[in-house]
């Protein structure tokens, strides 16, 4: 079994695409009309391009409720790996990204958490 696709709910797919590509540096992989929305995925230029992140609309009331609840509790919607969290933090901070948790070392892991501007907190971690 493999993970091929993970998703995050977003409040605006176009805004999410701009943030995830122009700010975070991911690359658009798939963009296909799907009714009123799009099947919109991005991949990391640093990893295999067959592991995709779906920027999924939070149009469903249950999705919006879930997204809002975990955001308000400070729970990241997902986590990305970084070879150097402090360097990534400095780069993203310089691009205007708002962090809710600065780089913090907890045992063998360093992590930071930022707001993706689309309704989610995202954690970056380094082991």
- Mean pLDDT of the 102-113 span: 97
Residue 34's pLDDT is what? Answer: 92
Alpha helices in 1-127 (DSSP H): 13-18, 61-72, 85-94
Q: How confident is the model at residue 80 (pLDDT cuts 50, 70, 90)?
A: very high
**Per-residue DSSP letters for 16-29?**
HHHIIIIIT--EEE
For residue 64, give the 3-state DSSP assignment. Answer: helix
For residue 59, give the 3-state DSSP assignment. Answer: coil
Give the C-alpha distances (Å, rounded to integers) separating 1 from 4, 38, 41, 50: 9, 27, 21, 14
Q: How confident is the model at residue 49 (pLDDT cuts 50, 70, 90)?
A: confident
Q: How confident is the model at residue 9 (pLDDT cuts 50, 70, 90)?
A: very high
Mean pLDDT of the chain: 96
pTM (2 decimals)?
0.94
Q: How confident is the model at residue 47 (pLDDT cuts 50, 70, 90)?
A: confident
Q: Residue 118: count other Cβ atoms within 10 Å of its Cβ.
A: 22
21-38 pLDDT per residue, tens? 999 999 999 999 999 999
> Is 48 a residue whose pLDDT tops 90?
no
- Mean pLDDT of the 60-69 span: 96
Q: Which CATH number applies to 5-126: 3.40.50.720, 3.40.50.280, 3.10.180.10, 1.20.1600.10? A: 3.10.180.10
- Mean pLDDT of the 62-90 span: 97
């Amino acid at each position: 079994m493999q993970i091929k696709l993970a998703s995050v709910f977003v409040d605006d797919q176009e805004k999410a695409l701009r943030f995830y590509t122009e700010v975070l540096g991911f690359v658009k992989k798939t963009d296909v009309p799907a009714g009123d929305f799009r099947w919109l995925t991005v991949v990391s230029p640093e990893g295999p391009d067959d592991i995709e992140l779906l920027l999924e609309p939070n149009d469903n009331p249950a999705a919006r409720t879930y997204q809002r609840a975990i955001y308000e509790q400070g729970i990241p919607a997902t986590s990305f790996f970084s070879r150097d969290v402090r360097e990534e933090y400095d780069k993203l901070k310089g691009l205007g990204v708002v962090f809710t948790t600065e780089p913090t070392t907890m045992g063998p892991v360093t992590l930071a958490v930022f707001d993706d501007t689309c309704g989610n907190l995202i954690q970056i971690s380094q082991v």
